[in-house]
Chains A and B, each alone.
Chain A
Amino acid sequence: MAYLNWLIWLIPLLPLLGFLLNVFVVRRERPAGLLASGMVLGAFVVAVVAVIGLAGLPAESRRIMSTGWQWISTGAFQVPFGIMLDPLTAVMVLLVTGVGALIHIYSIGYMHGDPRVVRYFAYLNLFITMMLFLVMGNNLLILFLGWEGVGLCSFLLIGYWFERRSAAEAAVKAFVVNRIGDAAFILAMLAIFASFGTLNFYDVEIGGVIQPGFLERIPEILGRTVGPSWQPIAVATGISFLLLIGATGKSAQFPLFVWLPDAMAGPTPVSALIHAATMVTAGVYMMARTESLFQESLATQSWVLWIGALTALIAGTAAVAQWDIKRVLAYSTVSQLGFMVAACGMGAYVAAIFHLLTHGLFKALLFLGSGSVIHGTHDTQDMRRMGGLRTAMPTTFWTYLVGAAALAGIVPLAGFWSKDEILAHALSHGNWPQLIILFLTSLLTAFYMGRQVALVFYGEQRDHSYHAHESGRVMTVPLLILAVGAALGGLMNLPFSIPGGHWLSDWLNPVLHEEPGEFNLALALLATAGAVGMGYLGWWVYTRNAARVKVGGKDPAYRYTGDIWDGMEEAWYLDAAYNRFVVAPFRALGGFLARVFDPQGIDGLVMGIGRFFTWVGGGVRGLQSGYVRTYALVFTVGVLLVLGFVLIFTR
């Protein structure tokens, strides 16, 4: 299958071409949208062809490695600029290009008339390119290239409507939080290189020479430790923990998830593509790719498990109490990512990827649906101002319903199968506390989706300041396609021993070594009953009490839960806690010591830390008084320190 070697290069290069053309050549809206969508669609078609070709190979040789050139070559340090296609990459590529193409097409309608729309499509194309490099790279460095690239595009797109202050702030917040994860990722790379002497995932043959891959050399580091003798850390634990921090940032896990809900300030298709379906799953993908490293460290694995489970619960509760239609979905995304991470922590990587794929489909559907709602209600996002929209926008309603049911885990839609597989794994691995947490979260999921559907589509329209209308064909067709996907996506990996039932498990088997989860009928029934029940409850509470929902008012459930509701609405005050316990001391310190503060500062954790550093920088610059004598003074201090050190040292 030699043609695959060059064919797979087309997948990332087509969107790159679209990006370049949109930056340098195209100046008008229509060609920009068509070009961008066409390129991504082309990449999808190529990907399909390539995956079919890949499937034609025997299972054990399903790994196409193609090296463009030797990126770095210095003695022992060899890194090819190479991409690959293996089963895991294949499903990711299909998801990215497929969902990506639909969202591009949808954007043509959604962004129509925006003054900077050419730039929008350029960013979007660049994002797809970088995401493809991320999932296709055959070494950590390429992965990192994509990792940084998608971060950058996400940053640019969150702040796309930079006239809105919240957008600019959210962009900065996302960027700064992600830097924490990125720094950990770089350190992990350094540690991996130092331990293995390579950054390749797998052995690569280049010019007849085989370059080793670290994933195939894990045993080399077993038993090795670093750190002080009284507290040694196993190398495997150290590396995997750093990678975990990296994933925590990118995939919005506790405690770094605070940026994702704010990221909804970007255009809705962006939220669908980047902050739900693809980029935020990069952390999960990365953990799955390096699963053998994680598997060597029980310590890290339990961290992964707990972080995932806690994130799922915290974000799930927060989602229940939101009024903003997109924030519900944002917290829901964080929560579902928590499911995936928890699955990784259990060693159930196939389940994690399965959930990643189905979630990509139905969450993209939900976001695009909410975009359609926002579009049809003239930029309304507050659900208290909606209601009764099912008659005005039927297509949106029905597709949204499918997506919501899929997310809630109603049999037989996609979400049911993937979520059930994660729960089944938790059960069969005996992770009881996490099982309970995740089960509760899945109940919450059904509840808040029922609540959302009721608030948006049922009852009476509570605000008549706009005239709701259905969106155009260019937006509804992607919705329909995604709805089909959300409905049938579960067929990828049915827990039954029928031919093709474990299709995804079998397909991923060469990469991810995991037994298919045991199907537990009791659990499945319980989960389904719970989902249906809670979904209905959510719907029922908010249709019955629809009259109590007032614009700007409290939630009807507030009566029963009281202040707890406030806690949920504020995501358990994590932002506030950051503000109080991290930002405030920093700020107090800064305020105490610095006379003047930047008046246009921005609240929030990151800005606080950023401001602290800025304050330190201000100190640095305060010493920079302009007096040359002071400079000489500082110089002399340095001299004294250096000479003093020499004297003491040579005593």
Chain B
Amino acid sequence: MDVLLFFVTAAVALVGAIAMLVSRNAVHSALFLLLNFGAMAVLYLLLQSPFLFTIQLTVYAGAIMVLFLFVVMLLGAEQVEDTPDRIAWQRPLGILLGVGLLGVAAAASLRGAAGQPAPGGEAAASFGNPAELGALLFTRYLLPFEITGVILLVAVVGVVVLNQRGRQQAPAKPPAGD
């Protein structure tokens, strides 16, 4: 049952990812990525991480991807790749490297994980429940938690700084030196 479910969701995830990669339309890419994230969420569930399942759906699927779609559609940046590729050699070389990377990564992880027993038997029912996660988050991982707050603060400042200035001071002169 589990294995079957795994293969189905894995297939969905892979298909979503590959479709994201090859879609010429950015909106389609975003939707396929959404599919991929959904499949990932299910995999988290399979791995006994219900909390991450929720987060994946709310944050990634619910917020980040929506933002992506929003930006793509409002900017009208669906199809920027209609112009001919200026560095055409990049694509075959990139694919070659990708294959190489996949080979290396798969070899490493296979060799690394092959000898492992199947996921550690039966876990306690409480494994991975949100409370346990929360407990860890506020004890052992308290410092990273607080740092995260600072990172988010910086992000807020960044968004405001990068997009507010046009309003206060219109560019006085055309960009120089380009």
Contacts and interface: CB of A to CB of B under 8 A. Distances in A.
Q: Do chains A and B touch in the complex (CB under 8 A)?
A: yes
Interface string B85-110: 01100100110011011001101100
A643 B112 CA distance: 13
Contacts of B86: 627
Contact of B101 (A625, A629, A639): A639
A640 B97 CA distance: 8
Contact of B108 (A627, A629, A637, A647): A647
B97 to A, nearest CB: 5
A629 B104 contact: no
Interface string B64-94: 0000000000000000000000110010011
A633 interface: yes
A633 B89 CA distance: 11
Nearest to B85: A629
A636 interface: yes
A430 interface: no
Contact of A633 (B90, B107, B108): B90
Interface in A623-643: 625, 627, 629-630, 633, 636-637, 639-640, 643
A636 B102 CA distance: 11
Interface in A608-635: 625, 627, 629-630, 633
A643 B87 contact: no
A633 B97 contact: yes
A2 interface: no
A70 B174 CA distance: 57
B87 A625 contact: yes
Contacts of A633: 90, 93-94, 97
B87 A640 contact: no
A643 B111 CA distance: 13
A636 B97 CA distance: 7
Interface in B86-144: 86-87, 90, 93-94, 97-98, 100-101, 104-105, 107-108, 111
A194 interface: no
Contacts of A637: 97
Contacts of B111: 647
Contacts of A639: 101
Given A633-B97, A636-B97, A637-B97, A644 B90 contact: no
B95 to A, nearest CB: 11
Nearest to B87: A627
Contacts of A629: 87, 90, 94
B49 to A, nearest CB: 28
Contact of A636 (B87, B101, B108): B101
Contacts of B105: 643
A646 B107 CA distance: 11
Contacts of B90: 627, 629-630, 633
Nearest to A640: B100
Contacts of B98: 636
A640 B104 contact: yes
B110 to A, nearest CB: 11
Contacts of A643: 101, 104-105, 108
Residue among A627, A637, A640 having the largest count of chain B Cβ atoms under 10 Å: A640
Contacts of A636: 94, 97-98, 101
A293 B93 CA distance: 56
B104 A644 contact: yes
Contacts of A644: 104
Contacts of A625: 87
A630 B104 contact: no
Nearest to B108: A647
Nearest to A636: B97
A630 B87 CA distance: 9
A640 B111 CA distance: 17
Contacts of B93: 633
B100 to A, nearest CB: 5
B3 to A, nearest CB: 28
Contacts of B107: 647
A647 B87 contact: no
Nearest to B107: A647
Contacts of B87: 625, 627, 629-630
A646 B97 contact: no
Nearest to B90: A629
A636 B101 CA distance: 8
A636 B104 CA distance: 12
Contacts of A630: 87, 90
A186 B93 CA distance: 43
Nearest to A643: B104
Nearest to A637: B97
A342 to B, nearest CB: 58
A627 B90 CA distance: 10
B84 to A, nearest CB: 14
A359 B130 CA distance: 90
Nearest to B100: A640
Nearest to B105: A643
A646 B98 CA distance: 18
A504 B15 CA distance: 91
B94 A647 contact: no
Contacts of B101: 636, 639-640, 643
Contacts of B97: 633, 636-637, 640
A637 B87 CA distance: 17
A501 B98 CA distance: 83
Contacts of A640: 97, 100-101, 104
Contacts of B108: 643, 646-647
B143 to A, nearest CB: 30
Contacts of B100: 640
A633 B101 CA distance: 12
B58 to A, nearest CB: 30
A639 B97 CA distance: 10
B86 to A, nearest CB: 8
A627 B105 CA distance: 26
Interface string A478-499: 0000000000000000000000
A389 B49 CA distance: 102
Contacts of A627: 86-87, 90
14 contacts: A627-B86, A627-B90, A629-B87, A630-B87, A633-B97, A636-B94, A636-B97, A636-B98, A637-B97, A640-B100, A640-B101, A643-B108, A647-B108, A647-B111
Per CB-CB distance, the 10 closest pairs between chain A and chain B, nearest first, are A643-B104, A636-B97, A640-B100, A627-B87, A629-B90, A644-B104, A647-B107, A647-B108, A633-B94, A640-B101
Interface of A: 625, 627, 629-630, 633, 636-637, 639-640, 643-644, 646-647
Given A636-B98, A647-B108, 17 more contacts: A627-B87, A629-B90, A630-B87, A633-B93, A633-B94, A636-B94, A636-B97, A636-B101, A640-B97, A640-B104, A643-B104, A643-B105, A643-B108, A644-B104, A646-B108, A647-B104, A647-B111
